[in-house]
Amino acid sequence: MATIDLNRLIKRYGHTTVVHGIDLSVRDGEFVVLVGPSGCGKSTTLRMIAGLEEISGGEIRIDGRVVNDLQPKDRNIAMVFQNYAIYPHMTVADNIAFGLYRSNLSKSEKRQRVEQAAETLGLSQLLDRRPSALSGGQRQRVAIGRAMVRDPAAFLFDEPLSNLDAQLRTQMRIEIKRLHHRLGTTSVFVTHDQVEAMTMADRIVVMRDGRILQVGTPLELYENP
Ligand code: ADP
Ligand code: ADP
């Protein structure tokens, strides 16, 4: 579990500012969705939280501790990507276990974590398969499994459903929310899809041009668009 605080967070590429000093506090166990049109800075914000992108100004705190200078692996958070980022030559088990690459856990502990994640995600029967023998939804679950085995304090989702067809997208929305209810892990979910935001979020953060336009529950934003 974790809180995430962004204080006056800034990102510049050269002379162009793409995130203009945003403030946001994500509460412990909350599911926050960042929504807005393509190019408004959602992914950059998420990547800064993950430590995959250097910040140009301001501060990021996880559980109250400033993480500005911490490596991604030391932030205790895990990212789930859009394009699955899974390896075709590796089995499901190895793909999930890759989340523990560089961890100091013993082999048997790793195996146990992989099996636990697979069970939670309904992948137990598929551990020896290669990704080519999986459906799109199963592949997406493998990507989530890789994040889960690290037992992170928070999940960061970068448009994880945008490559799926409409039916699968709806199903995975429900699955991800069910997982969230079960694990209670603080989550920040990025999407350009308003329906996704409205149906998944505890709280929605609407971004435009590198700024936060509005913050509210789905009901608040529905009643006050
Ligand atoms: P979103 O996730 O909302 O689609 P991004 O965070 O990906 O938006 O991008 C925000 C802005 O930053 C865009 O204008 C994009 O072109 C720009 N940008 C992203 N990455 C880079 C980069 N490596 N160099 C220069 N500009 C970038
Ligand atoms: P490796 O030497 O392959 O890196 P690790 O030290 O990473 O081994 O230990 C975890 C290994 O256990 C992974 O290779 C992973 O694929 C494997 N593993 C975990 N759970 C299972 C399982 N249920 N079935 C098969 N292999 C598993």
What's residue 35's pLDDT?
97
pLDDT of 82 higher than 80: no
Q: Is 191 in the pocket of ligand 1 (CB under 6 A)?
A: no
**Those residues with Cβ within 8 angstroms of residue 4's Cβ, 6 or more apart along the chain or in another chain:** 24, 25, 26, 49, 60, 61, 62, 154, 186, 188
Kindly report, residue by residue over 186-225, the tens digit of the pLDDT.
999 999 999 999 999 999 999 999 999 999 999 999 888 7
Ligand 2 probe mutation, 110, 116, 125, 148, most atoms within 8 A of CB: 110
Kindly report, residue by residue over 114-138, the tens digit of the pLDDT.
999 999 889 999 999 999 999 888 9
pLDDT of 34 higher than 70: yes
What's residue 83's pLDDT?
66
What's residue 84's pLDDT?
63
Kindly report, residue by residue over 137-185, the tens digit of the pLDDT.
898 899 999 999 988 999 999 998 887 888 888 988 998 999 999 999 9
What's residue 7's pLDDT?
98
pLDDT of 71 higher than 70: yes
Atom number, ligand 1, closest to the C-alpha of residue 40: 3
Give the ligand with the smallest distance to the CA of 109: 2
Residue having the nearest C-alpha atom to atom 6 of ligand 2? 107
pLDDT of 12 higher than 70: yes
